[in-house]
Amino acid sequence: MRIMVAEYAVGGGEGKSGSLLREGKEMLTTLRRSFERIGNEVVYPEAEDDFEAAVDKLSKESDAGIVIAPDDRLCELTELVESNTVNLGCPSECVKICADKMEATKILKDTGIPVPGIVLDSEMGKGEYVKKPRYGCASENVFILNGKGNQEAAFFYDDNQDYIITEFIKGEDISSSVVVGVSSVLPLTINKQFMRLEGGRLRYEGGLVPYFVGRDAEREIMNTSKKVVTMLRCKGYVGIDFVLGDDGTAYVVDINPRPTTSIVGIAKVLNYEVAELILRARFGTLPLEEEVKTEGRFILKLS
């Protein structure tokens, strides 16, 4: 098969330097090599002036395609792929919901999934809160607020920019990685996220794959992950960000309907090619959970 892998930072979008570009290169290289190892040809946009036009052209010339892009661009780019070829990622309808952190959080809360509570500006007291773009990716412009007095956060948000404020949950920053097929959800790994607080701003610095959180917590996280992707009708590779609270509860803080940086480590430790799992999710049947194993650990550091 001829497969398009379109990664936004590498292909000409924003983030041409720094950690976002490095993450993009790592994810693109991981997926390209994995698809090639199982006999596929891979094409991808490279430093294009018009990334959307490149995706349109390459997807028309490919048997299937997948896009990695920021939340505010992923839906329209996914729709483009869907109109031209077989989409190996989440459906655009799912991407649209996941991209809206306000809407996704409300949906999860209404169905009993643990999430941090949404807080209005007028409701903020003396405690700690998280302020982040309503539509965004990675840890861009995510701030920890001490009540209303965080001037640095105010600098990055203007009156016309949508944002969401939630209660701050103390605990460990982790994620789950799953692959969603036609009739089953295959858990892959739980991953540690390295986060640094700098002047009230959270920054992602890499991760550890896999990460052991204990059997009970692992069971809760993966069960919750299955509920989330089933409810939102996700497909293909999905990453879900959690805070494993000090109270033992796993709170969902973000849903990424696309390959995430953790896939770089997963490809190193998994006994299956990640590309094979993505293709089987779309065209065949996924392996049983007990058939998928990891060996060793992989640490990715971005700073």
Which tens digit of pLDDT belongs to each residue from 170-225?
Answer: 999 999 999 999 999 999 999 999 999 888 888 899 999 999 999 999 999 999 99
Q: Is the model's pLDDT at 96 over the cut of 60? A: yes
**In the sheet where 64-68 sits, what is the strand order?**
41-43, 2-7, 64-68, 86-87
pLDDT band for position 148 (50/70/90)?
A: low
Query: What is the tens place of the pLDDT at every residue in 235-252?
Result: 999 999 999 999 999 999
- Average per-residue pLDDT in the chain? 91
- 10 Å Cβ neighbour count for 216? 9
- The H or E element containing residue 250 is strand 250-256
Strand stretches in 88-200, DSSP E: 128-133, 142-146, 163-167, 171-180, 185-198
Query: What is the tens place of the pLDDT at every residue in 21-69?
Result: 899 999 999 999 999 999 999 999 988 779 999 999 999 999 999 999 9
Distance CA 255, CA 40 (A): 29
pLDDT at 162: 86
pLDDT at 155: 46
Q: pTM value?
A: 0.93
pLDDT at 17: 57
Where do the domains of the chain lie, and which CATH numbers do they carry? 2-88 (3.40.50.11770), 98-113+169-301 (3.30.470.20), 121-167 (no CATH)
131 neighbors 165 (Cβ within 8 angstroms): yes
